[in-house]
Structures are given as structure tokens and as C-alpha cells.
Amino acid sequence: MTNTEIAKILEEISEYLDVSNDGFRSRAYGRAAATIASLDREATDIYREEGQKGLESIPSIGSGIAEKIEELVTTGSLHYLDELKTKLPVNVQELTAIEGVGPKTIKTLYTQLHIKTRDDLEKAAASGSLRALPHFGEKTERKILKSIEFLKQSKGRFLLGDILPIASKIEVRLKKIPGVRHVAIAGSLRRRQETIGDIDIVASSKEPQKMIDAFISFPEVVHIYGSGATKANVRLSLGIDADLRVVHDKEYGAALLYFTGDKQHNIELRKIAIEKGWKLSEYGLFKGNKLLAGATEEEVYHKLGLEWMPPEIRTVSGEIEAAMEKRIPRLIPYGSIKGDLQVQTSWTDGTASIEAMTDAALAHGLSYIAITDHTKSLTVARGLDEKGLARQAREIDALNKKFLKKKFRILKSAEVNILKDGKLDIADTALKKLDLVGVSVHSHFGMSEEEMTARIITALKHPLVNILFHPTGRLIKKREPYKVDILKVIKAAKHYGVALEVNAYPDRLDLKDTHIRLAIEHGVKLVVDTDAHAPEHGKFLDLGVAQVRRGWGSKTDVLNTQSVSDLLKEIKRIKNSARRMPTGTEC
DNA sequence: GCCGTTTTCGGCCCGACTGTTTTCAGTCG
């Protein structure tokens, strides 16, 4: 049983306990779930090697939860969860996913109207029977229906960050099977789309059957839809489907191209082939029966008169024309971020100390981080006030002395809250003492587009602001972005010398590929950061890099691909050149 | 259920906002 699976079960318990009005116990399970999910070692291994005591040495795991994990890894099920489900036969996860529906609402819905599922709730809301309940009205009904509609649209898709590690693990395992020549993850995963429908894997092997047999007997496989001589289609325990296709070496490139997509990109390539009197399929590029190309993607593209291009930009958004004219950009390479610029610590809502986050960043190969704890008006996170920032600065100074010999620098920063009127919640005198000032919106998400745009631009105008964090505020599959005119924000960012954040956290990725491309076209600089709240989150950086690649970004578009001294110089330069812009060019 | 440099018992994030009310319950971060 993987950490993800254990965490999912603990999280489920947490949600049942929350509905049962056992808040503290619920939070204990929630914390445990988060800890297990971001653990670097498999809990199963820890238990096997060190027993229950080993599990108890993990923070937030005590004897009670260690016992539950023991039962899970030894029996595969958990009596306690079954009991909770019997007592409250309600699909809590499905219902809490609906915005505005929390534990209390679920309890009321169940006791008053016997609502157990999202479908039950949708029917009740549509028929107008919810408004009879206390504290429910027409507006709430509409909100619930809208949220259900939104959830339906994203149904069946998974976050890239959740699936990539599992797919990579399967890829590594497949590569070890005798007879194998090539293995690659294809499909939307290879294109690094934000959400993934299923896992496509393409391979070539001298002994296809061996690969198929091994694949369908992997421990994650819970159901086999079909399995033949060259392909298999299975469901994995996470609920996602995975396809493996095994081809001959000479077809491998064409198959990889075909299964990578996207669909429209393939159609355009086939059109080009047809124009030349050829035919392109997953088996290769053919003139009649003669194979013209197929072993590698490169030779197929070249034969069609195109430059090879990275999968991330195969979306029919100008990449084919660019490939014809040999002007495919050099995209920012994975692993090229030198410092994480959004890091929360236990000073506010992070789980670890500044030192622990620094150690983690060093382990991830970084040479600097910016500590960006929340500020005072974000009371939920116990945001820092001016005095708090000053105290934190002293700790950072001391740590910088310690980490000097490792050539690592901790930057003083903050995720400064943008108030309703666009003003910042920290005094300028305190902001001036920071190396970098990041700002973001954390409240009043329901403003009109005009108001929200004006509010953000007011913040960007502030002469000390360097980075706009969370430019859209979306949570993929959970919350739509707030209404904001992103083009106006981009223009303002350019005008006032502010960089835009590409948030790499798996369900955030605030800026979409199209936004990033737009920003780059307008000459706005980007920063890629993880929004880390725990040491393990540093591993998300490349998800942000993927997003920049999908937006056609190169290394020079991203400020924190530079050394810390160059970064600070560049930030200052951008700000100064913005100040010198003539008036009248503002937005 | 977890945790401990005032504690092995008694705390545990709490204020703003929304939609509903006409003083407040529930959600969110």
C-alpha cells in the first residue's frame, strides 16, 4: 500500500470525524494524512523495517494512528473506517468537494433530507427543497448547483503532480523487463497537461508479450479491461486507467508521436503528409507501402519538413508554423531553477522551521530560497506583523551566517496580503527591509472583474512590490480563478516592473499556459516557485517549469534561473527601468 | 488523536465573510 493510498484513507477518516463533530480528532487524522502524503519514504517500508515504533517516530503519528496504519498495511483494510461509514452512510468526500458544503451541512442534509450523495444533493437543489432547511435559501441552492456543474466538468481527471510520480515508477519498472528497447510515457502526461485523463505508455520490445504480462501483474493494477499480444488496458488502484502499447523498434517514434498527441496536432501532421501524397499513422510515415520514417519522432518530423518540437507545445497554437520556419524556441530546461521564491515556514502556516526548509532546498540542489510567510491580516495563518517580520529577519541573518559556507542564501521576503482596496497590510518601513516583496490576494474572491483588476493593479503600483503571487487564485478541480482581466494585470506588471509567479504547487499553477505566453509576449518576467508549506514540497519545482514550457518560455524569461546576486540585480533593474517609463503608458 | 524548554492533562488557528437572518451558523483559508 502506497503513501498516497494510506493518506487518502486517513483523509477520509478525518472527513467522517469532522461531520461527526469530532473536530480535534479529525484534525489529527488530517495532519497525519498530510504527513504521510509528503513522506519521502514509504510508510510500508518503515513499518516493515522498524515496526509500529518506527511509524510513531513520524511527526503527527502517535500510537493510535500507527495502529491504524499497521492494520492497513497488513490486512489492506481498516475496521475503524468501515464502522464510521456504517454509522454515517454518506459519501463525505464527494459532498465536501462541493464548494460551500462542509461537515455541518452534510449532517443537516443527511438527517433532514437523507441526502447521501452528490446526485441526491443535485436533485434536492434543483427541485428547490433545500430552501426549506434553516439557513438555506435560493442563493445557496444556485451556488450548490453551479459547483456541482463545475465538478462534473473536471470529473475523471487527475492532477499532473499526483500521477507523474506513479507513472514514472511504472516506466522505470517496465524498462527493467528483458527484451525491452524503449519505454516512454506518452499522452497528456508527456505534454505535462495540468490534468490527466489516463496514463499512456509506449514501448518497443523484442518480446512484447513479456512486457504485457509484467504490466498487468503490477501491484497497482486492480482491474484488467483487456490484454493482448501488444497492448493492455488496466485500471490502477488510484482510480486512473493506464494503457500500454508495445510496438516494433522501427515504429517506435511514430507510435510515440501518435500517442503523445494532442489529437489536433496529429490531425495537422497527417494533413501535411496527405499533401505530400503520403500517409501518417502510429506505424509510421508511408509512401504507398514503403516506410519513409518511423523509428524516431525526429525523423518523422524532419521528413514532413518540420523541426522536432517538445511535447509541451504540441497543442496547435502556432507550433507547426514555427517548426516549418525552424523557429521552435529553446524552452527552459527541467531542473534549471536555482532558488525557490515562495516558501512558508512554521512562523505562519508552514510545517517546518526556516532551517528545515533551507536544508530541504539544499537537498533539492537549490542555492537560495525566499522566506515568504503570510502577513498580519491573514489571521488564519497567524500572519506576521512588522515586529514579527523583524524578529524573523534576525533569525534569517543568523542562519545566513551558518549557511554561508554552503554558499546558500536565505532571502527575506513575505507573501504580503493585498487588502480589499489594493493597499498592502504591512508598512513601507518594514517592506523596505525585505530582499523581495511578494503580494497576493487572499480574501474577497467574489469581487467583480473590474474591482479585482483595479485592486491588483493598485498593489502592483506600489513602488516596493517585486512579485505578484497567485495571479488568478485558482485551485484546479476545486475553485475557479477569481474574475480578473489578466491582460491588464500583465500590462500593469510590465509597466510597474513586477514579475508574475508561476506557482508550481500541483493544484495551483495559477497561470495557465496561455497566460504565460501572453506575459512573455509582453516582456513580463516570471518566477517559478513551489509555494512550499513543507520540506517535501520542493520537489514540485519542475511542475512549474513544465507550465512555463507549455507557455513557450525560455530560461531567460524566468528570473530565478539566475544566481541569487544576479536575481537581485535583475529585480532592481526591472523596477528602476519601470520607474523611468513615461507617464501616459500606464494602463 | 497528538503533543510537551511553564503541561502526561488539557490544549489544539481563529477572524472574515456569506447567506441567512434580524443575531448567527457554517465555511474558508
Same domain, A443 and A485: yes
From first to last of the 587 residues of chain A, give the pLDDT tens digit. Answer: 888 889 989 989 998 998 888 888 998 998 898 888 777 788 999 999 999 999 999 888 999 999 999 999 999 999 999 999 998 899 988 898 887 888 889 988 998 899 999 999 999 998 888 888 888 888 888 888 888 887 776 556 889 998 999 999 999 999 999 989 999 999 999 999 998 888 999 999 988 998 999 999 998 887 787 788 888 888 888 778 899 999 999 999 999 999 998 888 988 898 899 889 998 998 899 988 889 999 999 999 999 999 999 999 998 889 999 999 999 999 999 999 999 999 999 898 888 899 999 999 999 999 999 999 999 888 777 789 999 999 999 999 999 999 999 999 999 999 999 998 999 999 999 999 999 999 999 888 888 889 999 999 999 999 999 999 999 998 887 777 888 999 999 999 999 999 999 999 998 999 999 999 999 999 999 999 999 998 889 999 999 999 999 999 999 999 999 999 999 999 999 998 876 665 444 44
What CATH code is carried by the domain that includes residue A465?
3.20.20.140
Question: A148 and A55, same structural domain?
Answer: yes
- pLDDT of the residue at A584: 45
Q: Are residues A284 and A234 in the same domain?
A: no
Question: Which nucleotides of chain B are near protein (any atom < 7 Å from a CB)?
Answer: 1-3, 11-21, 25-29
**Cβ of A105 less than 7 A from strand B:** yes
Same domain, yes or no, for A266 and A364?
no
What CATH number is given to the structural domain containing A194?
3.30.460.10
Could you tell me the distance in Å between the CA of residue A414 and the C1' of nucleotide B18? 29
In a domain, A401, yes or no: yes
Q: Is the C-beta of residue A393 closer than 7 Å to nucleic acid chain B? A: no
Which residues, 6 or more positions from A186, have their beta carbon under 8 angstroms from its beta carbon?
A: A200, A201, A202, A256, A259, A260, A261
Flag whether A334 is in a domain: no
Strand B and A432 CB separated by under 7 Å: no
Instruction: Examine the fold and report which residue of A306, A328, A350 is the final residue of a domain before the chain moves on.
Output: A328
- Within-domain flag for A585: no
In terms of domains, do A480 and A495 share one? yes
Instruction: Tell whether A509 is covered by a domain.
Output: yes
Let me know whether A299 and A385 are in one domain: no
Cα A363 to Cα A36, A57, A350, A356, distances in angstroms: 20, 22, 18, 11
Residue carrying the nine cell digits 502499447:
A245
Assess if residue A28 is contained within a domain.
yes
Is pTM beyond 0.75 here? yes
Label residue A22 exposed, middle or buried (CB < 10 Å: 0-12, 13-18, 19+).
middle
Identify the CATH number of the domain in which residue A318 sits: 3.30.210.10
Q: How many domains does chain A have?
A: 4
Q: In this structure, are A453 and A362 located in the same domain?
A: yes
Smallest CA–C1' separation from A133, nucleotide:
B20
Enumerate the H helices of A79-197 as residue ranges: 79-87, 92-96, 103-113, 118-127, 138-153, 160-175, 187-190
Q: Is residue A36 a part of any domain in this protein?
A: yes
Based on the fold, state whether residues A234 and A282 are members of the same structural domain. no
Residue of least CA–C1' distance to B14? A380
Among the candidates A216, A247, A278, a domain finishes at A247
Residues 327-366 of A with CB under 7 A from strand B: 349
Cα–Cα distance measured from residue A16 to residue A352, given in angstroms and rounded to the nearest whole number: 28
Q: Closest nucleotide (CA of A104 to C1')?
A: B26
Q: Is the CB of A154 under 7 A from strand B?
A: no
In a domain, A333, yes or no: no
CATH number at residue A99: 1.10.150.110
Same domain, A169 and A264: no
Domain boundary among A122, A153, A184: A153
Longest Cα–Cα distance in chain A: 76
Using the CB atom, is residue A575 less than 7 Å from strand B? no
In a shared domain, residues A377 and A419: yes
Is A273 found in the same domain as A243?
no
DSSP per residue, A384-433: B-HHHHHHHHHHHHHHHHHHGGGT-EEEE--EEEE-TTS-BSS-HHHHTT
Domain span including residue A166:
156-247
A380 touches strand B (CB under 7 A): yes
User: Would strands A526-529 and A180-185 be described as parallel, antiparallel, or unpaired?
Assistant: unpaired
A284 and A218 within one domain: no
> Nearest-CA neighbor of A417 among A436, A433, A439?
A439
- Inside any domain, residue A503: yes
